[in-house]
Structure 1
Amino acid sequence: MTFADQILQGEHLTAINNIKAAVAAADYTAKVEPGDPVLTPEAEKAELQRYLQHSSTASFRTKTLIARKMMDTAASWVGRSVQFVGRENLAAVQGGAIVTSNHFSPIENLFVRSAARGHRLHIVSQLTNLMMHGVLGFLMNYGDTIPLGNRREWVGREFPELIHKCLVRGQWVLIYPEQEMWFNYRKPRPVQRGAYYYAARFNVPVVSMFVSMETTTRKVNKDFNAIKYTVHVLPPIYPDQTLGVRAASIKMAATDYAQKCAAYTAAYGKELDYTFQPSDIAGWQQKG
């Protein structure tokens, strides 16, 4: 069973129903996955402090090397069954960059990592994901993850500094502008400005990607058929240096969203319409 097949196991009907409700309410950043942990302000502060203190240790650096090797190996394995279109667009990108993609699966960052081969890729993730256990918890804590918290001090100072350090080293940072993961949702959602703010603030390009999904005839379980993935590497987007950071970031966000919508239309042969259809969930074999 492939990594992608394993993700299709389990119960996803609640998340799908939550997606349907969120679409009806035009709330495209809504949390839809049930059971996500919630941290108190005190617990969040303690977890962020623990991350900062631990990230400067030799033990953390050693575990990061191990986790990165594991992620790179997994990305290479997954990439063998994924189609890539437009990789030539990466040739023009020199140095650090912000990467954006649609967010529909816990493993789609492996597709992005495979497309971005040759570049060290950091992933911005919700702080609560660092509290996972087992192998997945190890990868979330040490796989070049930059935690996103809600504390004002973190968002205003520590978080931008972590991103900037990666960019000045010529590394790439994956930020999901759709924010929350919507399981196997095919459509690009309206983007939030954060990723483009950092690109404009630190004067780096946005490497724009969109992943399309084709449902195959191979059955994985009673609810889902297997999926074939295609990563569309779109033209990079550069900040307009004649504008201020806010105006430049808004312009970049609009350009990226338009590119992703155009990629959706080209991949699926139809215009983007946010009316919910069962086919919006890739692989789902709705009953009745």
Structure 2
Amino acid sequence: MIIGDDRERVIANIKRATETGDLNAKVEVGDPVLSLQERKDLVNAFWQEQQSLKGKLNNKVGHTFFNTLARVLTASTTFTGLDNLSDLPRGGAIITTNHFNQIDSLPIKRLANKTHHHLTIAIEDTNLKLPGILSYLMNYVGTIPLVQSTSYISDDFPKHLHHALAQDDWVLIYPEQEMWWNYRKPRTLQRGAYYFAAKQNVPIISTFIEIQTLPKLEKDHPHFEQTKYIVHVLPPIYPDTSVSANIDSKRMLKQDYQQKVAAYENAYQRKLDYTFTPWDIAGWRNK
């Protein structure tokens, strides 16, 4: 699904995934499909272009455009828990949130701007081949593509991540991995973000985005209402260098999941239950 197409098919896939308990399943349709070698070649070309004059110029344009999109498209977004960042040491950090939209990085970009941090985003490699403006954004707003190969994850990705963190960037990593369109509930988390935080000795900035429906239909989708976001900033999670990164990453993951669940239950005033209901999909009128 690219922004708005095939929503009912995606929702059906979400329902099926919850029924099988696979909360990290790929549910999107129409995403680019590439072989491992094609993905490696794509990412190699991406990094080469980042160093070229054309790439640097496009990055300037892309960052300006990204800031404008964040300001315009999330104008109604509100933030809670900003005081949780008051004691956060200056420097790089990994920020985590729930993944429910192709542009759900925009509220996090707003948060980074509020705190005068540059935002870098870890993305799936195939996102570089999304159509139209999404492809441009994936290539030129400050991203680190991730190739699911052992050598890239163990060598290349940590180097690019370290470079961003050394510049005091916040690096957005989606620990739910796959995007579930407008899905309100926090899902089980994968360990990568927390392992990298432990290895790089940087904190996790834990957030949860609440999706509220508005009493106004989307123009081109009569079965869906418009939505707005509330970004809940939760207590940061700090690494513990007295234990191994493997052990510490599990602790950090557990704490982040517990915080996201608590934020969900507080925001929506309901206990977390993965039994699927139409309410799970924000804005869906199910008619």
Fold in common (TM above 0.5): yes
Matches within 5 A, 1:86-235: 86-93=81-88, 94-117=90-113, 118-220=116-218, 221-235=221-235
For residues 215-235 of structure 1, give each alpha carbon's deviation from its aligned partner in whole angstroms, at most 9, with x where no partner exists.
Answer: 222122321011121110111
- Matched residue type, 2:63: R
Distance 2:82 2:53 in 1: 35
Distance 1:284 1:191 in 2: 25
- Shift in Å, 1:134: 2.4
- Shift in Å, 1:31: 0.5
SS at match of 1:92: coil
Distance 1:133 1:58 in 2: 23
- Shift in Å, 1:25: 0.7
Q: Residue 11 in 1 paired to residue 13 in 2?
A: no
Distance 2:228 2:167 in 1: 34
Q: Which residue of 2 aligns with 1:271?
A: 271
- Shift in Å, 1:79: 3.4
Asked if 2 retains the 8 angstrom alpha-carbon contact of 1:206 and 1:237, the reply is: yes
Q: TM-score, normalised by structure 2?
A: 0.95
Asked if 2 retains the 8 angstrom alpha-carbon contact of 1:103 and 1:181, the reply is: yes
SS at match of 2:188: coil
Distance 1:282 1:130 in 2: 27
Distance 2:215 2:261 in 1: 26
Q: Are residues 282 and 136 of structure 1, via their aligned partners in 2, closer, same or farther at CA, if it must alter by over 3 Å?
A: same
Asked if 2 retains the 8 angstrom alpha-carbon contact of 1:87 and 1:115, the reply is: no
Matches within 5 A, 1:234-245: 234-245=234-245
Identity of aligned residues (%): 44
Distance 2:190 2:235 in 1: 19
Q: TM-score, normalised by structure 1?
A: 0.94
- Shift in Å, 1:132: 2.1
Distance 1:203 1:43 in 2: 33
Asked if 2 retains the 8 angstrom alpha-carbon contact of 1:207 and 1:234, the reply is: yes
Q: Which residue of 2 aligns with 1:3?
A: none
Distance 1:55 1:276 in 2: 42
Unaligned runs of 5+ residues in structure 2 are none
- Matched residue type, 1:130: L
Q: Where has structure 1 moved over 4 Å in runs of 4 or more?
A: none
Unaligned runs of 5+ residues in structure 1 are 1-5
